[in-house]
A and B are shown apart, each in its own frame.
Chain A
Amino acid sequence: MNPTNYLYLSAILFSIGAVGVIVRKNAIVVFMCIELMLNAANLAFVTFAKINGNLEGQVMAFFTMVVAACEVVVGLAIIVTIFRSRRSASVDDASLLSR
């Protein structure tokens, strides 16, 4: 199978994630979209590793997963705290800037 198709899939996933981050209000969904974008990047890394026949991309994917895990811990903690104080997980409600 042509590995380029995996790159297309990766681009589509990334785009879906990016649009999700921009248009969705619920913090959890936004968060999931960010995960989607990270994983799209991971897919691209692995595909390039396959194409180039070395392991560097594979290694980078592991790093990304570690970063994503850390990010989930911190991010979810923030979302839970915001939810506790505001009774809402909407990212728009969290804006304190006056206009």
Chain B
Amino acid sequence: MTPLLSVQGITKFYGQHIGCKDVGFDLYPGEVMGIVGESGSGKSTLLNCMAGHLTSDAGAVVFDTRTDGPRDTVTMSEPERRMLSRTDWAFVHQHARDGLRMGVSAGGNVGERLMAVGERHYGDIRAKATDWLGRVEIDATRVDDRPTTFSGGMQQRLQIARNLVTGPRLVFMDEPTGGLDVSVQARLLDLLRGLVRDMGLSAIIVTHDLAVVRLLADRLMVMKDGHVVEAGLTDQVLDDPQHAYSQLLVSSVLQV
């Protein structure tokens, strides 16, 4: 089987300072990969390099495109990469405001992505947008309201709907449940798990919440100071961590 995403030797420096160094892994269709580590460990830098938001200094991010097979997205032309990020890729930001257009209605936010891939029929777009609001448990009566009138949890769910409406195959998520209260977090986790299973999505999730990765991720990478110190099956890394830093991370979690 061809990996959906093959990351090879991704390196990013901020001047003298290492952002992330020589990171590589393969992600297969339907797999969810978690990336954990403390603040400043380079996990968000890595995510942004993979998603093309930052230019990496070295390395390749090879994506198995629908039409041309595996292509390196780092050396791909800008229009091609933009097309990819509108169709097969999705990016869920930690702060929903970064991923939403706050001045446009909820329905408009979802519909915009559909229009970006060529849909023009207003009725179809609105029907699809309403369907997706329902899937992320936002009441259909709110379709014409702006996200500024939504709670934080609703905004995050709207962001997810906006990202998934075009049926992407790979979703990058940066702390998708960060800053949400616990009951909303559980709801979002449940939603994401269902979507991963039913749509066969692959996802890369950056978080510092080990409970979130245990429930959501099949595989886990632990980062420290820009390097991957340990990688493996999620429950293996969490139950039997091998590296000193992973052991510290796992043993530092407060028991509830």
Q: Is A bound to B?
A: no
